[in-house]
Amino acid sequence: MAIYLDHAATTPMTPEVLAAYTSALSVVGNPSSIHSQGQAARRMLEDARHTIAAALGADAVELTFTSGGTEAINLAIKGLYWARAPRRRILSTRAEHHATIDALEWLERHEGAVVEWIPVDGFGRIDLVALEAALDGDVALVTTLQANNEVGTLQPVERIVELAAAHGVPVHVDAVSAFGSVPVDFAGSGAAALSVSAHKIGGPVGVGALVIARGATVTPLLHGGNQQRARSGTLDAAGAHAFAVATAALPGPDLRALRDRLIAGVVAAVPDAVLRGDPVDRLPGNAHFTFPGCDGDSLLFLLDSAGFSVSTGSACQAGVPEASHVLLAMGVDERGARGALRFTLGHESSEAEVDALLAALPGAVERARAAGLA
């Protein structure tokens, strides 16, 4: 059986969440229907909304269910941009998830947006001096990760929001990788919108949420029913219920000690491996390395053959033969960026699994380097 060390891509449902999801799927009724069965589905949905909103530090009325993190991010970015017309400028970084970068580039091509890319440092953290210099009242929005999905670095969200608020600029926070791993406090952050996804915390794929502050305005992407404040469409009550059950189980185990064991073990096993991302202010389950002389895809396949599931970066880019855009934004050259591997831990991870990986890693690196020289 393979050892799963790719929880940043998706985290398996626990038996409790799976049982709750399966049971909820048997509930018949459209939550918008006014008969008793429809209202039973509505109660299940609204109970889930309250549970998830509370965990995010938000009011239930502020939470809009979506089909996942990508839709939540698109709704936030495009919706805030359209609502802020005629302002055209958007501030972000090249180290964001592709859901953000691709949405911003689409707005440039089709909607006249002017995207200004704020630099990041060698850890992937936004340059606050450059951000402050770029901000003024003509900026439509700022969009930022709370935690980088590849290298794990935590962003100074509160400071970003503070700088933007001085100019009346709303901030969207992509908390998809952060929620379930580090505290998320929507009200405390002062952000205008915040995106999360169920399957990153052990819920089902296909369910996410966008939290929209009471005072923020977001133009909907979807029309046709007005089932929610910023989104039309029949709601997935069962998915929302399973999302809430996964949320109620948070926080999971503290993974920092196991992560540090993994990081120390990789450095000992492969001394020239380079840890990427902030060594301290990072996601507790994230260990991201580049291995000089290796192709990350080759190393991934060698480890997969040995029974380990890891990744080279975002699952959304898996199979695309290009260097990580996050590492390039951090100043890593293309050759170095191609040697990346991301190990991410979850509620099922154990010391025995980490130790097994560490035993297999040196041989895989040796073979990957030999293949690169062939």
Verify whether residue 316 is a known catalytic residue.
Answer: yes
> How is residue 244 annotated by DSSP?
H
Task: Find, among 14, 4, 2, the residue nearest to 201 by Cα.
Answer: 14
Q: What does the alpha-carbon distance between residue 6 and residue 12 come to, in Å, rounded to a whole number?
A: 10
Q: What does the alpha-carbon distance between residue 217 and residue 85 come to, in Å, rounded to a whole number?
A: 11
Task: Find, among 10, 2, 5, the residue nearest to 345 by Cα.
Answer: 5
Task: Find, among 171, 147, 169, the residue nearest to 76 by Cα.
Answer: 171
Q: What does the alpha-carbon distance between residue 281 and residue 122 come to, in Å, rounded to a whole number?
A: 13
Q: What does the alpha-carbon distance between residue 297 and residue 47 come to, in Å, rounded to a whole number?
A: 43
> How is residue 231 annotated by DSSP?
B
Q: Which of 316, 328, 358, 371 is catalytic?
A: 316
In the numeric block, which tokens belong to residue 83? 């609502």
Instruction: Look at the chain and count its residues.
Output: 374
Beta-strand pair 171-174/193-197: parallel
H or E stretch including 176? none
Coil, strand or helix: which one is 164?
Answer: helix
**Residue 96 amino acid letter:** E
Taking the mean position of all CA atoms in its chain, how far away is CA 120?
Answer: 18
Q: What does the alpha-carbon distance between residue 181 and residue 21 come to, in Å, rounded to a whole number?
A: 22
- Peptide bond before residue 86 is cis, with ω within 30 degrees of 0: yes
Q: What does the alpha-carbon distance between residue 174 and residue 193 come to, in Å, rounded to a whole number?
A: 9
The residues that are catalytic are 316
